[in-house]
Chain A
């Protein structure tokens, strides 16, 4: 028995346990050993309006998405509609969250693998940063733009406090808007450079060949046929590319089920309609979209489609999809900042707590995020259920790792040599493990000839 533990350059704790018999994989487990914090239980009894800041602590990376899903769930239960300017400010902070999260992953966690796909190690991000200081600095500046947006609207860059039921806490000042616009224009140039490098490396080194193809169902928000992250109906796409289900967030229990696994703290979602696996996140969203809705991102979408066709099933395409979304997020942030309504002082609707059930759905950087709250007549949370982004990709990840390990073993590779390849596949999903347990390590068991 071998165990790769912990998997590195990801956001959380995960191990892979592989049981080999006669040079074949008998069993492979993704062991999410991230300590379960049991938010769904201890949020019970808390005032619903406080759910936003509490739920942000589910994730130290996609806290903005959790804050937005939470506030939308509360507002859904209380029939509150925030003013248009507040929705724009929320869309802006959401773009900020995508920019910081996607840049962290692409530039620091994924790119070292892509620049040196044969597994030449840089000793992680630090070694990589020393080898490519120029690139590293640009990536830092892109991320900083995202975090400055979050700070401007949320009061602080990590775990912002400015998202409140009814709207947002504070209007955006013209001075800060002007500074953000300046930073954003520079960030767009830097993002284009980073994304060009990534696409060029993929084409030059045939990177997609290093990753498995996995034709699955996909789920995500889509508005019309345009890429969306904040507010829309959920769409399910079949592996052939047909839209097979469209539903409101409030109906999610009818469409999504979760199985538990004895070997992991993360639950395994599936489509109730057909018992099938589905994937979420950048690739799902990009597969669902006919267009991104911003000029530069649409050019990169065309480039991706010329490489892979209309639908991409390759796990490695997650990185390219994330790159397209990074460009789209910076462009959207700039569009919102140029919209004069973003400075409006009409940012709060009146809130009247009542008993009710609310579901809040947003796209987190890693995929569909659902917060479901039952609120009692005193405004206290009575029941909480969460479907977080990363967990929805774990069933597919486990199957893909099984398949790739078997193929490599058949080609005569030693377990120690395939570790790096398995980690690349895991990282392509940008798994955010603390979120998913509410996930990653590699343990190998060899009961073979030895």
Chain B
């Protein structure tokens, strides 16, 4: 039986929970593959040898994450980036727009409840800028999403067991959405707390909906309940860079409310899951290197 391991780096554990979300089907899947490592589900501390499929949950945030990731790579035949943190850095990647020292200083010394502040440094790893795992190791397959769809995780594992290449959606959330795609330009910017008109594209109505540039596979669950897509699955293959592509989509729709552009504000929409793997992040890194 093939050996499956789930290795967790910086994450909220939600990808593990997505795996459990298979409910009764999980018992069936675990009859087809041997789960040999998972901090939540298997009582084993070290990463075992001879892993056939390693699912990496989480992005890189500490030097310890890099060590675990490299160890996992060296012990695995196939390495899969599971979830948007592993694939793109995820929501924590938004942190890279803020100075790391200032962030640590605020969280550990500056909040209103902190009384005797010190930044942790003893028996804890060093904190570094958030990065997708592909910055450090070769990644054989990406299953993005926050969290990824349980069915997609299952189907990917089943394909990999058989030695097949798992299929990946090439379309966008708009393609899966019964409301889209947008055809006319929005007249004004709408916020998530404003009730939408029924049966009409959310982007057309002026909501920041990331559907046109976001990878399909979720069945457009958020637009379906009247909430704009927040882009959790990362860029659709044709979109390359999610943030720049949505800007492009909005400009194409002659969006008029885009003045006062601020990345710190709009990263909430444009780069919520992918900032750490964005081209702007590359530019920021380059600037930091030049400063040294």
Q: Which residues of A contact B (CB under 8 A)?
A: 4-6, 8-13, 15, 17, 29, 31-42, 44-47, 49-50, 53-54, 57-61, 63, 104, 108-109, 121-126, 129, 133, 136-137, 140-141, 143-144, 147, 154-159, 161-162, 164-166, 169-170, 252-253, 256-265, 267, 269, 348, 351, 353, 372, 379-380, 383, 385, 387, 432, 434-435, 438, 441, 443
Contact = CB atoms under 8 A, between A and B. Distances in A.
Interface in B22-73: 23-24, 26-27, 30, 35, 38-45, 58, 61-62, 64-65
B193 A58 contact: no
B211 interface: no
B221 A38 contact: no
Given A35-B9, A259-B116, A263-B122, 20 more contacts: A5-B45, A31-B124, A37-B61, A38-B95, A40-B107, A46-B268, A49-B191, A54-B272, A61-B12, A61-B13, A63-B12, A124-B44, A129-B27, A159-B146, A169-B225, A252-B113, A253-B113, A260-B119, A261-B120, A269-B113
A54 B267 CA distance: 12
B118 A267 contact: no
B193 A29 contact: no
A263 B24 contact: no
Contact of B104 (A38, A380, A383): A38
B70 to A, nearest CB: 16
B214 to A, nearest CB: 13
A60 B14 contact: yes
B39 A38 contact: no
Interface of B: 8-18, 20-21, 23-24, 26-27, 30, 35, 38-45, 58, 61-62, 64-65, 90-92, 94-95, 97-98, 102-104, 106-109, 111-125, 127, 130, 146-147, 191-195, 218, 221-222, 224-227, 230, 232, 262, 264-265, 267-269, 272
Given A13-B39, A31-B123, A123-B43, A260 B193 contact: no
With most chain B CB atoms within 10 A of its CB, the pick from A35, A156, A348 is: A35
A156 B146 CA distance: 11
Given A15-B123, A57-B146, A434-B13, A156 B27 contact: no
B42 A41 contact: no
A156 B109 contact: no
Nearest to B196: A169
Contacts of B14: 57, 59-61, 63, 158-159
Contacts of B106: 40-41
Given A37-B10, A147-B21, A8 B227 contact: no
A256 B61 contact: no
With most chain A CB atoms within 10 A of its CB, the pick from B23, B26, B44 is: B23
A39 B12 CA distance: 12
Given A35-B10, A140-B23, A155 B35 contact: no
A164 B39 CA distance: 33
* 8 A-B pairs with least C-beta separation: A60-B14, A35-B61, A35-B10, A60-B13, A45-B264, A60-B12, A41-B103, A351-B193
A140 B157 CA distance: 21
B183 to A, nearest CB: 23
A58 B227 contact: no
Contact of B120 (A4, A38, A61, A262): A262
Contacts of B265: 45-47, 380
B194 to A, nearest CB: 7
Contacts of A443: 123
A269 B115 CA distance: 10
18 contacts: A4-B45, A8-B44, A11-B13, A35-B61, A37-B10, A37-B61, A50-B269, A140-B23, A143-B23, A156-B221, A258-B115, A260-B119, A262-B120, A263-B122, A267-B108, A348-B193, A434-B11, A434-B12
